[in-house]
Chains A and B, each alone.
Chain A
Amino acid sequence: MAAATALLLPFRAHLHPAQAMLIFVPVIVAIGRLAGVRASAVGAVLAFLAADFVFVPPYYHLTVASPADWITLLVFLLVALSSGLQTGAIRQRERAAVQREREIALLSRLSSRLVSEESIEEMATFIVGEVAAVLGADRAVVFVRAPGDRAALMAQAGGVSCGVAEGAFADWVMRNDKAVGLPLTDDPSIGPHPVSVLVDEALPGIVADGVYLPLQTGECLEGVLYARPLSGVESSPERVRHLIAVANLAAAFLERRRLEDEAAQAAALQESDRLKATLVSSVSHELKTPLAAVTARITGLLDEGETCTPDRVREELEAATEDLHRLDSSIGDLVDVSRLESDAWRPVPDMWDIGELLGTVASRIPVASKRRVRFEVAEGLPSVWVDFRQVVRALSTMVDNALTYAPGADIVVGARALGTDLLVWVEDRGPGVPDEEKQRVFEKFYRGTTSAASSSGTGLGLAIVREIARAHGGRVWVEDAEPRGARFVLSLPLQGVSP
């Protein structure tokens, strides 16, 4: 305004006062455009005074000589004020519209993340960042429910933490389920929201500014959102409404995550209860049976004393050794299944020839059964990228199974390449596996119903095979052999997968 006055001063002699005032008007409009309502009003009054002081005779006096100049001056004041205010208001509305757009965009970004799989911490970090950037808070904090109805800080943005006070208010909100520091208003658009109390009512004597909003869904308080202060368009009801909307979305996200976690935990608990029960009964049966047999045989020998022939002693001890082998393999099953399930036995692959894998499998076949097993391996098979011990374990289990379920009959172990896979199979001439059991035989503790041998073993062997196949990116299945019997096939990718 001063610049405009100085600029016009040299031309004072040639200008009618009204003309000078006319030139002030666009200047005031520009001020309103750039600096808002208040600045333009001040500008208008300043222009009025400057016009009176400098351009209306007598110069450099606030008095006005001619009544006509009085009228000119008053009209000028009116015009200056109204045009300044008008442009200022337009500017304010534009800015509010842009802000509203940003806030709505925030809500849409937030809601699109509601169903995402990101962690609570990632979401909380996102929320505080957006509240600070879009709603103009100097400081924003998300607290989540912690054990004992406490509020635990999950993410924060901006500002200096006033730690103790923030924590105290968040705890208070958590316990009382009321917002703190929301402007008291009758605006129905702000509801429904939890009853707000003044800062003083919550924790008398503790100074805190800003707003603490409970993150609440229908039934449960999930956490607290803190923002300080809501700046910008002076904490308009609209901005408060947006903050509440953010809080509601955050609460919905937290609730979804909590319910998911609870459901997953409940399911896991139920499954583990079932498995534990089966495990306990299976373990006690599988461990105690051979133990009981060994105990009976040895105490029997002791009891017979000197009447016992050396042949009979030998026979009993050989039988006891077999029982002990069974005990050892049951323990092995239990150890392996728990190692595989707890991810404590990850495959350590290397390049192996199928011949060396099968050589070790062959060397582990019980002596009494060696003659029953025949190998038919295609020539020139490429090497496979597998964990030696795991694959040998899987194949040995498949061979043992065949020996058990098809007693007396010969067994064929074969291997060939098919596309990008290596297939290794164990084929028997036993009773086979009925279609309805072809999937279930690989479940833990599932025992076939058709065979007399179905009561032996832990019922874990094929589950272990399946776990090992999976860990290698392969699979295992059972199909009917011709003319009868079962063929268990283990398929492993020739190139392997990175574990």
Chain B
Amino acid sequence: MKSEQSSPPERSPRILVIDDEEQIRRALRSILQARHYTVDLAATGAAGLEAAVDTTPDLIVLDLSLPDMSGLVVCEQLRAWYEGPIVVLSVRDADADKIAALDLGADDYLTKPFSAGELLARIRAHLRRISGAELSVREIKAGDLMIDLAKRVVTVKGQPVHLTRTEFDILAELARNADRVVTSHALLNSVWGPDYVSDTQTLRVHVSHLRQKIEPQGGVSRYILTEPGVGFRFAGDPDIPA
């Protein structure tokens, strides 16, 4: 099988997997080790919390259904001191848990069953973000859309698009976090500041205007996808109709 990533990172990032199911742990270990990540495994919430202290991982993959304690509690306790990314895994249809986990400080979620490609893409995106590599990114390109973060200019198919300051900030925040969920809470916090985090209706109006300006004709959102009850996800590789 072809390897997805060519050059291994300088220091291999350390990932802690907390999942009670042996099959999932084994699968994740072999997938991650094949990409030169250092992998620690924990089968319970308590063991996971302990391992997190011992190994200080760069990223934690946390299953929400654990035998000894709720994954939500684990997430909350980790967030008391741990600042690295937490990606939660949940089964289909446990939307409420997913949303609760994001509220408690998880950075992203994946629904089982997921493909290795999806998981690795999320992990890479989060590690890139904390490495600060994104801060130096000047341009983000997705489909026909080009965002110049330094000049605060957006073009669609080479044509400049006029965005308000707020619309640009929203788009930039979403695009910097391409392919992962940005909660309404986080988006409001980063664009308006901590005093406005509950004003989701205002946010939706701005996103709606933003979509009208950047989305392709045909009334179907391609760049900014809605995650109901959670927030939005920017499609890093959108499928734009010809």
Contact = CB atoms under 8 A, between A and B. Distances in A.
Contacts of A370: 239
A415 to B, nearest CB: 7
Interface stretch (B13-21, B63-71, B220-228): B220-228
A374 to B, nearest CB: 7
B173 interface: no
A389 interface: yes
Contacts of B27: none
A381 B2 CA distance: 46
Nearest to A370: B239
Contacts of A339: 93
Given A375-B241, A381-B219, A388 B228 contact: yes
B219 A389 contact: no
B148 interface: no
B211 interface: yes
A379 interface: yes
Interface residues of A, number: 34
A45 interface: no
Contacts of A353: 208, 211, 221
Given A352-B226, A370-B239, A375-B241, A359 B220 contact: yes
Interface residues of B, number: 23
Nearest to A379: B219
A356 B226 contact: yes
Main secondary structure of the interface of B (DSSP, over half): loop
A374 B225 CA distance: 18
A441 interface: no
Interface in B16-74: none
Nearest to A361: B220
Interface string B226-242: 10110000010001010
A339 B95 CA distance: 14
B95 A332 contact: no
B133 interface: no
Interface in A290-312: 310
Interface string A357-370: 11110110000001
Nearest to B208: A353
B226 to A, nearest CB: 4
Contacts of B221: 353, 355-356, 358-360
A335 B92 contact: yes
Interface in A303-345: 310, 313-314, 317, 321, 324, 328, 331-332, 335, 339
Interface string B185-220: 000000000000000000000001001000100111
A389 B95 contact: yes
Nearest to A355: B219
A375 B115 CA distance: 27
Nearest to A336: B93
Contacts of A379: 219
B1 A310 contact: yes
Contact of B226 (A313, A328, A359, A415): A359
Main secondary structure of the interface of A (DSSP, over half): helix
> Residue among B92, B95, B220, B226 with the most chain A CB within 10 A?
B220
Contacts of B215: 355, 359
Contacts of B113: 324, 328
A374 B220 CA distance: 10
B92 A377 contact: no
A262 interface: no
A350 interface: yes
Given A339-B93, A350-B228, A352-B226, A358 B220 contact: yes
A360 B235 CA distance: 11
A362 B93 contact: no
B228 A355 contact: no
Given A314-B1, A353-B208, A363 B219 contact: no
B239 A359 contact: no
A355 B1 contact: no
A388 B113 CA distance: 21
In the A-B complex, list the 5 residue pairs whose CB atoms are closest, starting with the nearest.
Answer: A359-B221, A377-B219, A388-B228, A356-B226, A358-B220
Given A350-B228, A355-B219, A359-B215, 8 more contacts: A310-B1, A313-B1, A339-B93, A355-B215, A359-B222, A359-B225, A362-B220, A379-B219
27 contacts: A314-B2, A317-B1, A321-B115, A332-B92, A335-B92, A335-B93, A339-B93, A352-B226, A353-B211, A355-B211, A355-B219, A359-B215, A359-B222, A359-B224, A360-B225, A363-B235, A363-B239, A374-B241, A375-B219, A375-B220, A376-B218, A377-B219, A379-B219, A381-B219, A388-B226, A388-B228, A389-B95
Interface of B: 1-2, 92-93, 95, 113, 115, 208, 211, 215, 218-222, 224-226, 228-229, 235, 239, 241
